[in-house]
Amino acid sequence: MDSLNFIRKCLFVLIIFSQAFRGFGQEKKETIKLSIDQAKTFAVQNNRNVQAARIDVRISDKKIWEVISSGLPQINFAANYQHQFQVPQLSFGSYFDVGALPPTGYLTKTDIENAYKPMDPVSLGVPNNTTFDATLTQLIFSGEYIVGLQATKVLREVSADALIKTEDMTKEAVSTTYFLVLVLQENEKVLTNSLKYTEQTYIEMQKMNQQGFNEETDVDQMQISRSNIQTLLTSTISQKEVALKLLKYQLGIAFEQPVELTDSLPRLIDEGNIQYLAAPQFNVKNNIDYRIVSNQENLMLLSLNRERSKYMPTISSFYRHQEQTNRPQFNFAVKDLLGVSLNIPIVTSGMRTSRVNQAKYTLEKARLNKDNTEQGLILEYETAQSDYRTAFSNYTINNESMQLSKKVYDRTLIKYQEGISTSFELTQNISLFLTAETKFYYSVLSLLNAKAKLDRILGIN
């Protein structure tokens, strides 16, 4: 019995621990609370497109160093192993060996001939040899390299501007989605309250119909109104969930991460009115799109200078040191060598001239694109300013219309309950109120989107 109780206690402890660990594994994520400014800052740090653009800046930095390093000293080391199956030899003929002559007596012709001995041949190489070669090169003068150094600064600005452009587009996208979620949330609240009141009215009508105070048609009309509101509410909730997922995608976070939006529509609307109803001054040269096309023009000018620099000579120097593991008897290889190289282009049959002319035309196109962009940005700003004012006017009108339609609906409901108004008038006013509400929130969204566009054009974070 004791052993059985011990086993039961162990099982009980294991169950407790398993439930505890399961609780840790299913721990709820902490909700991220974001205002509109915090959402834009969060997106700039975590959005995947912005991160990719930031990587492009790092790549451009490495490319800049690649250009710079091409004019710095270069050291190359080479090792070469060589095996000769048959080493060539050089023979110098015979030599006269005095020691081969007879010590005494007269010398005969035969004695003299025998005194000539053949010399050993000299090898002109070795069967196996390894050569080590170290070479130092240094560019002294190159017009193309000088232009390349000038282009490195522009290349850095181009990549940095591309990053800023991506950040601005991301901020605008986050803003419009943020506004959409807020509008849908407010619309959901209004529809929920409308459905609540309509449901109460529908129940009261059913009771009145049971007592014979109204017709069944009145109840059916109210049921239709209730169903329409329920359909709108379901659609709004679905749209809000999709918009919230889109916002999380733009923020660069997981879909299951809870997010709470802390800003309110009235504050955002008032903020935009203060900024843009007074028509702020627009300096096109501060716009990121204008800076991008200006840098493109600078790049095309440098490209033209690069093609022109190819008419200039190139001067470089080198130093080479060579070592061999096995030196042949006759070795004419120089161990240390210092030299200077001069390359002067003379005739290319018009190829360089053609490239220079192409670069001129490309530069002309870049300047036309710059002028066109400048005019387009001015037009875009004026259009966006006009759209904002129009959207604000529509917002004001639709807000008044929604408030009036709500008053009419409330009064009609009271009159119906007192028997003065008909169910047809009540359901009609419900429909008018819902239409006015839809127009109002659409105008709110249009107003805030116009604000987000102006923020991007003016470079306001």
Give Cα 253 to chain centroid, integer Å. Answer: 16
Contact at 8 Å (CB) between 244 and 182?
no
Per DSSP bridges, beta strands 122-123 and 89-90 are: antiparallel
Structure tokens at 167: 């950040």
Exposure b/e, 265-280, CB count within 10 A at least 16 = b: beebbeebeebbeeee
267-290: average pLDDT: 87
Using a pLDDT cut of 70, give the percent of the chain over it: 93
Higher-pLDDT residue of 390 and 106 is 390
Q: Which CATH superfamily is domain 29-76+141-314+350-458 in?
A: Outer membrane efflux proteins (OEP) (1.20.1600.10)
84, pLDDT greater than 60: yes
**Residues 426, 431, 434, CA angle at the centre, nearest 5°?**
125
pLDDT one-digit tens code per residue, 408-431:
988 988 887 777 877 788 888 888
Mean of the per-residue pLDDT values for the chain?
Answer: 86
8, pLDDT greater than 70: no
Contact at 8 Å (CB) between 247 and 183?
no
Domain ranges of the chain: 29-76+141-314+350-458
Confidence of residue 24 (pLDDT cuts 50, 70, 90): very low
Q: Is the dihedral of CA 49, 51, 56, 57 positive or negative?
A: positive
Structure tokens at 180: 């959409």
The pTM of the full predicted model, rounded to 2 decimals, is: 0.78
Predicted pLDDT at 105: 67
pLDDT one-digit tens code per residue, 41-73:
999 999 999 999 999 999 988 988 888 898 889
Contact at 8 Å (CB) between 261 and 34?
yes
